[in-house]
A and B are shown apart, each in its own frame.
Chain A
Amino acid sequence: MLEVYQCALNSRLLLGSARYPSPAVLQEAVRAAGAEVVTVSLRRESGGERAGQGFWTLIRELGVRVLPNTAGCHSVKEAVTTAHMAREVFNTPWLKLEVIGEDDTLQPDVFGLTEAARILCAEGFQVFPYTTEDLVVAERLLAAGCQVLMPWGAPIGSGRGLNNLFGLKALRAHFPRVPLIIDAGLGLPSHAAQALELGFDAVLVNTAIAQARDPVQMAQAFAQAVSAGAAAHAAGPIEPRDLAAPSTPLIGTAFRG
């Protein structure tokens, strides 16, 4: 059981809702993943078009919790205004806070992120900050009032998995009681399993599922990997070692002595 902002979640797999081949496939993938939290966004809408209304109906039919994001925001001001707009439309204090600092990597602007987090936490938002594995930034985000952190595995949509294992392990070790959700950059279920094995509390996956040849099957595969990783962490994995250690007992071995 994962608890974020006093909300208990059974599933440790959070899904993004973008880049699916169709709304129907998105719906089926969310069900196949058993996801309880789905990220959503806000975009410009024209009066006649009403594209967003159908999407919002579809998400509500799923009965999941929505986690609105501030994707595309490059400044504190944009992120804070978008947060206010999202809170009204989606009727939730939850917010995946993104302040993007660099366009090639979509790396978070951690200075803008901590400032926006401070403002929004003070206004009662429950902020899920999209951050790096930097320990000092993590400290600042917690001091700002964040009760969960979402470090990147790799750049958004890159599918590279956990790029900085050392940094991510240090983050996990440094904040043993803070819910940590790996957000961005996972490409394979094995990446998700690895994150959970290392003790991360959950993963958020979008592109790896949405852009797979069969998103529904991939959603199932990620769900299984997340369950396996969580179980492995709970079971206490062995430490790797450099030399062999015979698994078959040596006592009574034939032809010896």
Chain B
Amino acid sequence: MRILVNGAWREAQAAQLAGLLDELGYAGVVVSTAVNDEFVAVAARAATPLHDGDRLEVLAPMQGG
């Protein structure tokens, strides 16, 4: 299925969020996630299913004013 990850379409094998993050190389990285504009906590990632066309945001700490 295709997932829109940070604004770019990606092919995804994993059926849930935790698996997709591993697939995309985020294992061990401090990030926060939202699926279809809804926050998904770390603890909920394994139980969060993904569907074709879902929008995923993966955000990390960054400089800010």
Contact = CB atoms under 8 A, between A and B. Distances in A.
Interface string A66-92: 001101000001100110111011100
Given A88-B42, A89-B30, A89-B31, A51 B64 contact: no
Contacts of A68: 64
Contacts of B37: 77-78, 81
B33 interface: yes
B13 interface: no
Interface in B11-44: 21, 24-26, 29-34, 37-39, 41-42
B7, B62, B63: most-surrounded residue (chain A CB, <10 A): B63
Instruction: With a 10 A CB-CB cut-off, give which of B21, B25, B61, B62 has the most chain A CB atoms.
Output: B61
Given A42-B60, A44-B7, A56-B60, A50 B29 contact: yes
Which of A40, A46, A82 has the largest count of B CB atoms less than 10 A from its CB? A46
B34 A40 contact: no
B25 A40 contact: no
Contact of A47 (B29, B32, B42, B62): B29
Contacts of A88: 32, 39, 41-42
Interface residues of A, number: 41
Contact of B61 (A47, A90, A184): A90
A156 B65 CA distance: 9
B30, B34, B57 pick with most chain A CB within 10 angstroms: B30
Contacts of B34: 81, 85
Interface of B: 6-7, 21, 24-26, 29-34, 37-39, 41-42, 57-65
27 contacts: A16-B65, A18-B63, A39-B65, A42-B61, A42-B62, A44-B7, A45-B31, A46-B6, A47-B21, A47-B25, A47-B26, A52-B30, A52-B61, A53-B60, A56-B60, A59-B61, A69-B64, A71-B64, A77-B37, A81-B34, A84-B39, A88-B42, A90-B61, A157-B65, A184-B65, A206-B65, A207-B65
Interface of A: 16-20, 26, 39-48, 50-53, 55-56, 59, 68-69, 71, 77-78, 81-82, 84-86, 88-90, 156-157, 184, 206-207
Given A40-B63, A41-B61, A42-B60, 5 more contacts: A16-B65, A20-B63, A50-B29, A53-B61, A88-B32
